[in-house]
Structure 1
Amino acid sequence: MAKYLLLKHYRGAPEPVNNVPMDQWTPQEISAHIQYMNDFAAGLEKTGEFVDGQALAPEGQWVRYDGEGRPPVTDGPFAETKDLIAGWMIIDVDSHERAVELAGELSAAPGAGGKPIHEWLEVRPFLAAPPTVTECPH
């Protein structure tokens, strides 16, 4: 088994086919989208492939080390940006092919008009742990 991160981008590049911004969806369309995501996760829980997942709020801040103990903070990222991380799911699957298959299914979540949004998802394997040293070289 190998863990993969399925990273969900909001209006990322390349653009999804059904590119209606989520702030223009009806409450019913948002509910249908969230229900799809919940049902998808529940199905993976049954197969033992679901590890965790979360949706992210559009508000955020950028923070970095400043060398003086007071990290600078700026507003953003903003929902108007071209690429905003909307959420993520961690899966534990037998193969890279299975991770890609599941990402394809997740991409079919409904959006405006109930049509699949065909969004692009990033599929990223977790970095494997470095080998451990079992004997001292001395």
Structure 2
Amino acid sequence: MAKYVLLKHYRGAPAPENDVPMDRWTPEELTAHVQYMEDFAKRIEATGEYVDSQALSTQGTFVRSGGEGRPPVTDGPFAETKDLIAGWMIIDVESYDRALELAAELSEAPGAGGKPIREWLELRPFLTAGHPATE
């Protein structure tokens, strides 16, 4: 088994298959989108492939070491930016091909008008001791 994280990016710009940005979806469209992801997680939990997931706030802070004293802090990211991480899901699967299959299925979540948004999801393997994170 190999663990992967699926990173869901919020894009203020339209997705290729759905020309309505998420911040303009109706409450019903947003509810349907979230329900699709919850149902997906429940289904792969039953197969033992689901590990965890979480949606993230659009508010955040950038922090880095400033040497001594309080670290420098900058507001951001902001929902108005072109791209920010909106959430993640961790899966534990038998193969890279299975990870791709699940990512593609999750990409089909509905958006505006109930149409699949076919959003890009970033798929990253976890680094493990002694094993490179390449396929």
CA–CA distance in structure 2, aligned partners of residues 93 and 126 of structure 1: 12
Do the aligned residues in 1 keep the contact of 2:12 with 2:80 (CA within 8 Å)?
A: no
* Alignment size in residue pairs: 131
Q: After superposition, where does 1:23-62 map in structure 2 within 5 Å?
A: 23-62=23-62
> Which digits, 9 at most, give the CA deviation of each residue in 1:91-114, with x for residues without a partner?
000000000000000000001111
The residue number in structure 1 matching 2:103 is 103
Which whole-Å CA distance do the structure 1 matches of 2:96 and 2:13 have between them? 22
Q: Distance in 2 between matches of 1:78 and 1:129?
A: 35
Identity of aligned residues (%): 74
Q: Distance in 2 between matches of 1:31 and 1:15?
A: 18
Equivalent position amino acid for 1:77 in 2: P
Give unpaired runs (5+ residues) of structure 1.
132-138
Which has the higher Rg, Structure 1 or Structure 2? 1
Unaligned runs of 5+ in 2: none
Q: 1-side partners of 2:13 and 2:107: how far apart?
A: 14
Q: Is the 8 A contact 2:14 2:21 kept in 1?
A: no
Structure-2 residue corresponding to 1:135: none
- Structure 1 window deviating more from structure 2 (64-73 vs 90-99): it is 64-73
Query: 1:90/1:13 Cα in 2 relative to 1: closer, same or farther (>3 Å)?
Result: farther
Moved over 6 A (4+): none
Question: What corresponds to 1:134 in structure 2?
Answer: none
Match of 2:56, as an amino acid? Answer: L
Q: What is the Cα-based RMSD across aligned positions, in Å? A: 1.7
Return the alpha-carbon distance in structure 2 between the equivalents of residues 103 and 45 of structure 1.
Answer: 15
Alignment partners' CA distance in 2, 1:55 and 1:68: 33
Task: Determine helix, strand or coil for the equivalent of 1:34.
Answer: helix
